Amino acid sequence: MRVLAALSGGVDSAVAAARAVDAGHDVVGVHMALSRDRDEYRTGSRGCCSIEDAGDARRAADVLGVPYYVWDLSETFERTVVADFVAEYEAGRTPNPCVRCNEHIKFEALLDKGVALGFDAVCTGHYARVEIADDGTRSLHRARDAAKDQSYVLAVMGPERLARAMFPLGDAASKDDVRAEAAARGLGVSAKPDSYDICFVADGDTQGFLRRRLGSRPGEVVDAEGAVVGRHDGAYAYTVGQRKGLALDRPAPDGRPRYVLEVRPASNTVVVGAAELLTVTRLHGTDAVWFAPPADGAWFDCSVQVRAHGSPLAARARAVAGASGDVEVVVDAGLRGLAPGQSAVLYDGTRVLAEATVTRTAR
């Protein structure tokens, strides 16, 4: 197959591309230039996609002996990931930019361009597995290394794009093994630190990034009864479950910590309260992407995960009859700090069943 290997400049993508070469595929490496402001993606960035990463990707391609190109996807990235991130926070929701990046950049812009150029698949360094049934049906599964599993942020891609995706690291025993393999192959990125946090918020200050984009918007912080207990400089900078940085004027009557329970963008209000008020047992999601569509309205047992590195919890779910793309999930044990905008991914064991964006929760 002709395979387009996404080379981020990190160890995972380099080893994934090497394994694709070993498998006999005709591999071409491509690095996605995502920054419109090169100062934002600088040396010392906590994320990925820096200028240095492009150089590391080129050197990896040289070692592997594959052609290498840089594709400028910065305008698409700004529109579909960065602008969406800001708009979601402004609307009182908590987005996951890695999910949006996989949806719109790696498995839409990159894949679609690759297919148009005659490539059969895109290869990435994600930790997830693709299983192929006897009838050719593909299913997305958790990685062998549970600590590195990235099926949660990949679930949004759906079955059609999964058919053109390759994840050679899905069966890797551990990240240490991948680093050792990179060193044995002579790849200079073998000891390169992992990227983390949000790549376009280089200093890790999400509130500061949002404030630069959205400006100062002072408002009130109220408790669950509506009493004013503090002020804020922008409700957009808060998320459900947040405890630090609330700067409240007075403590709770019982002296216990308070957490963000709700963000109300219409009134520019942040609601805080006791920890136990964060627990919800039901969520509603929209824009569902199904890998194994169920019958409308029929409840089924599954597990649900609501954070990239969160623990799956036993749940019951159903596709809402007559409401295209809507999902209901019940978690009897409860979920704490779940915010609208987060992704909820349903599993059957290791297999991904569906992904949806949380719109509301209930206790």
Together in a domain, 168 and 72: yes
Pairing of strands 2-6, 121-123: parallel
Together in a domain, 12 and 99: yes
The token pair at 262 is 């709700």
- 43 has pLDDT over 60: no
Question: What does residue 315 show for φ and ψ, rounded to 5 degrees?
Answer: -150, 170
Q: Which of 226, 242, 273 is the last residue of a domain?
A: 273
Together in a domain, 97 and 23: yes
Helix (H, G, I), strand (E, B) or coil at 238: coil
Q: Is the dihedral of CA 114, 171, 151, 46 positive or negative?
A: negative
In a domain, 200, yes or no: no
Catalytic residues: 101, 199
- 47 has pLDDT over 70: no
Q: Which of 273, 296, 318 is the last residue of a domain?
A: 273
Helices (H), 95-174: 97-101, 110-116, 151-154, 158-162
Read off the CATH number of the domain in which 265 is found.
Answer: 2.30.30.280
Pairing of strands 128-132, 313-319: unpaired
Query: pLDDT band at residue 45, thresholds of 50, 70 and 90?
Result: very low
Q: Which of 133, 160, 184 is the last residue of a domain?
A: 184
In a domain, 114, yes or no: yes
Together in a domain, 165 and 236: no
In a domain, 192, yes or no: no
**CA 152, 200, 7: angle at the middle one, nearest 5?**
65
Q: Tell me the average pLDDT across 165-189.
A: 96
State residue 48's pLDDT score. 61
Q: Position of tokens 């805080």?
A: 272
Together in a domain, 7 and 138: yes
Q: What is the DSSP letter of 226?
A: S
- Give every strand in the sheet of 26-33, ordered side by side: 68-72, 26-33, 2-6, 121-123, 165-166
Output the pTM of the full model.
0.92
The token pair at 70 is 């840089």
- 110 has pLDDT over 90: yes
Q: What is the pLDDT of residues 207-219, one digit of tens each?
A: 899 999 999 999 9
Rounded to whole angstroms, the Cα distance separating 205 from 198 reads 9
Together in a domain, 258 and 310: no
- 244 has pLDDT over 60: yes
Together in a domain, 62 and 99: yes
In a domain, 203, yes or no: no
Rounded to whole angstroms, the Cα distance separating 104 from 106 reads 6
Number of domains in the chain: 3
In a domain, 254, yes or no: yes
Read off the CATH number of the domain in which 27 is found.
Answer: 3.40.50.620
In a domain, 233, yes or no: yes
Q: What is the pLDDT of residues 257-313, one digit of tens each?
A: 999 999 999 999 999 999 999 999 999 999 999 998 887 789 999 999 999 989 999
Together in a domain, 67 and 156: yes
Least confident among 43-57, 160-174, 325-339, 346-360: 43-57
Together in a domain, 74 and 166: yes
In a domain, 208, yes or no: no
Together in a domain, 31 and 81: yes
Nearest to 191 by CA among 203, 178, 206: 178
In a domain, 63, yes or no: yes
Which residue type sits at 276?
A: E
Q: Where are the beta strands (DSSP E) in the chain?
A: 2-6, 26-33, 68-72, 121-123, 128-132, 138-142, 165-166, 219-223, 228-232, 259-264, 269-273, 279-290, 300-305, 313-319, 327-336, 343-348, 351-362
Together in a domain, 138 and 47: yes
Read off the CATH number of the domain in which 282 is found.
Answer: 2.40.30.10
Do residues 6 and 107 touch, judged by C-beta distance below 8 A? no
> What Rg value do the Cα atoms of the chain yield, rounded?
22
Which residue type sits at 208?
A: G
Question: What does residue 350 show for φ and ψ, rounded to 5 degrees?
Answer: -90, -10
Q: At what angle do helices 11-22 and 51-64 cross, to 10 degrees?
A: 20
Range of the structural domain that residue 252 is part of: 216-273
Together in a domain, 161 and 236: no
HSE toward the beta carbon, residue 64, CA cutoff 13 A: 33
Q: What is the DSSP letter of 328?
A: E
State residue 38's pLDDT score. 52
Least confident among 98-102, 192-196, 254-258, 350-354: 192-196
